Amino acid sequence: MLNILHHYIGTKILNRIEPEISHAIALCYLRLLNQFVKKRKIGNPMLKTKICGMEVPSPIGLAAGFDKNAEVFNATLSLGFGFVEVGTITPDPQFGNPKPRLFRLPEEKALINRMGFNNKGMLHVSKIAEKPKLGIVGVNIGANAKSINKILDYTNVFEFIAHLFDYVTINVSSPNTKNLRDLQKPETLEQILQDVNTINVSLKRKVPIFIKIAPDLNDSIVTEILSVCEENYVSGLIATNTTINPKNLKNPNSFEGGLSGKPLFNQSNKILRLLAKRKNASTVLIGVGGIFSASDIYEKIMLGASAVQIYTGFVYNGPMHIKRMEMELKNLLLSDGYNSIDGAVGALIR
């Protein structure tokens, strides 16, 4: 009970501090925890599943953007996440966009960020990522803002650090690096995938590749992206990144950056449903956007997600909420007669 109280009070205090400072404080705590953690919490056996052959004890993952430099992946795994994704990592270190660049909208259960891939670069991350991992850790990769050849950036990062992680997510959907979303165009995306696949087949252990897409795409573009991904051996898609559409807010206001949290839920689910209906059976989907409860997770699973990732819900509700959602998710499965996550995947679109 005392531990729960500490987490609750800590989360409440952190949510009253300027967002980026709050994030830095949380990372300091997790770096300390990282030095002592030797094992992770194992969830309910009902929640075990596989993503592209990778066994995870829970379908609830931590989205990229929290552990930007791969510094606390074992600490976050120990909090109860089934898997974590670090990054986004670029070839060269970069500061990102000018501050302030992270904003809370508590009444909307949302965040606005215009961070701009702030990270310490692939060389720094490669040194940390060699340490033993307590579970599945993926890496999200991107291009430097000032890069002349952004396509080459993905190839360079992939070649340098892919072998150190369990899977790689190619991020071509962040709204916070100028012109980055243009890389979602099918012909450009195909070039990126051809280049990284050439490297992937040469690795001792070929890694699963995911593409993270934007929610602000029309159905025909989503279908084209899916086709390119499947033609170029992508293991799965992550749906979705943040939105730039203020209409998702209850009180629409223009903003600069990407909106995450509850206002993204329905739009990300729309993309998820479309992908689930049109994908090949072997293509894996991970649902992201607006998850605050077990019922939110369950809806994404029923729409076709084999797993989910959270970020904004974790920021607002703290680490104890993860285990609570896992227990509630188990009960939702049981109430519908499922004895595993796998049985529920895509149930709403069959």
Domains of the chain, each with CATH number or no CATH: 2-349 (3.20.20.70)
Selection from 333, 342, 328, 350 nearest residue 48 by Cα: 342
Q: pTM of the predicted model, to two decimals? A: 0.95
In the residue annotation, 174 being an active-site residue is answered as yes
List Cβ neighbours of 91 (8 Å cut-off, separation of 6 or more).
121, 122, 143, 144, 147, 153, 156, 157, 160
**pLDDT 10s digit of each residue in the chain, 350 long?**
334 334 444 676 777 788 898 888 889 889 988 888 877 767 788 999 999 999 999 999 999 999 999 999 999 999 999 999 999 999 999 999 999 999 999 999 999 999 999 999 999 999 999 999 999 999 999 999 999 999 999 999 999 999 999 999 999 999 999 999 999 999 999 999 999 999 999 999 999 999 999 999 999 999 999 999 999 999 999 999 999 998 888 877 778 889 999 999 999 999 999 999 999 999 999 999 999 999 999 999 999 999 999 999 999 998 888 999 999 999 999 999 999 999 999 999 97
Element (H, E) at 334: helix 320-335
154, 193 Cβ separation under 8 angstroms: no
Tell me the HSE value of 136 on the side-chain side, using a 13 A CA sphere: 25
Q: Which of the residues 78, 174, 260, 306 is marked catalytic?
A: 174
CA distance linking residue 85 with residue 18, whole number of Å = 24
SS3 state of residue 89: strand
Torsion over CA: 88, 90, 93, 94 (sign): negative
